[in-house]
Amino acid sequence: MSGTVKISYNVNNIKSNITWDVKNIIFKWQGIIFGGFVRDSIIAEHYGQLFWEKHNYNKHYWNEQFDPSTAARTLIPNDVDICLNNEQNVNKMMEDITALFIREFGNANVKFTKRLLSRNSLDFKSYIDNPIGNLYTYTYTIVVGEIPYVSLGTPFNYSFDIITTPKKHLKPPFNRLDFLCNCFIMTNHGEIMMSNCTGTEIDKLKLVEKKEIESKILKDMINFKTDYCMKFMKISNNNSYASVKSNSLACNRIEKMCNKKYPWTIQNMPIIIEQPKKLVSMCRNCCICQDTIKNKQRYIAMPALDSNNKEIQGPPMHTDCFFKYMNSQIQDKKRDCENISYNIGSADYEDNCKIFLRCPMRNEIDFDIQNITNIIERYLKS
């Protein structure tokens, strides 16, 4: 008699079990965790607490179909952003993490790659305008449940981006905050705080105002709402590609948020991001590719004015189509900057470089948020 053996593993459960030990190692070497890891940890902890209040057992905790209202409890980040002030601690910390993975999963089931990115790398500049340290990237591929002749196992990835900076006063996000939900840093288990290096007006607020806004940002975060607040690098003689780089980074960050498993409502944006509408009958075509936008697909539209000067949605676009359209313009502008000698420093140069992205209807798209005073006022008044 023969049969097949079906083996399945809940990767999020496995990651959750190992993440506590990973954080222990990071904090041991005085690392600061920031970015999406902190955001997702806050959200998962909130919905996990709601789950435990409703259910006194954990049998179905990792089953997203059980109690869908708290399904975000299973949210586990795939990557960790870390800041270290001591360059020598990078190898020591990662040796400890590698040893942890090997001890838990076996040497044959753990593979990793390591990269050291230069200071002029676009990936590095997505974190810091003027890098003064280094950016290390470690990507682990781990296989669980491999059984010879029975199962190939289930692979999953675990990535680390480690920024080193000797300036101890310069903390993440290094005055380059992209979304308000990413303004928090983690310095130990349970020690989560709003960074004072966001690069926005929030850094200058009084203590009481800052705490008031902090609580409201958290409340929005657990409801998957946030504000876009990326401020562009200044155009200068030493950085003629500033606008090209900034627009590229903005599009990458926004696209990444658009493709999250749990849909986010992003305010303060020059574009409108619509989430899937399961119960609404809709038959509209993407104005770029002309294919139908299905009910379960997210789409993007530009705000427009009707005959009564009332804001409405313009023609819809698939999110993928929209960002491909943006990236093609970014590449074109990059080639222009390489091939054409503008009069650097002139008004024409700044006008030509600062805003160059346009939607298919040829309207300008400016992703540069000069200040977030309006956001702060909205939070303080609400």
For residues 262 and 39, give the distance between their C-alpha atoms in angstroms, rounded to a whole number: 13
Count of CA atoms in the C-beta half-sphere (13 A) of 38: 27
Q: Give, as one character, the DSSP assignment of residue 226.
A: E
Q: What is the mean pLDDT, run by run of 10 residues, along the chain of 382 residues?
A: 60 93 96 97 96 87 93 94 95 98 95 82 58 86 86 90 90 93 93 94 94 95 95 62 84 93 91 72 81 88 85 90 96 79 51 76 89 89 84
Residue listed under structure tokens 């709601």? 50
Which residues lie closer than 8 Å to 225 by C-beta, 6 or more apart?
264, 265, 267
The maximal CA–CA distance of the chain, rounded, in angstroms, is: 82
Mutual orientation of helices 36-54 and 207-222 as an angle, nearest 10°?
A: 70
pLDDT at 6: 56
Give residue 328's Cα distance to chain centre: 22
Q: How far apart are the first and last CA of the chain?
A: 68
pLDDT at 173: 93
Which amino acid belongs to residue 4?
T
Nearest to 183 by CA among 44, 38, 72: 38
For the chain, the structural domain boundaries read 11-224, 242-366
pLDDT at 118: 64
pLDDT at 279: 40
Which amino acid belongs to residue 241?
Y
pLDDT at 16: 93
Nearest to 329 by CA among 302, 287, 352, 357: 357
Q: Measure Cα distances from 274 to 30, 132, 281, 310, 318 in Å.
A: 41, 39, 14, 19, 10
Give residue 157's Cα distance to chain centre: 17
Which amino acid belongs to residue 201?
E
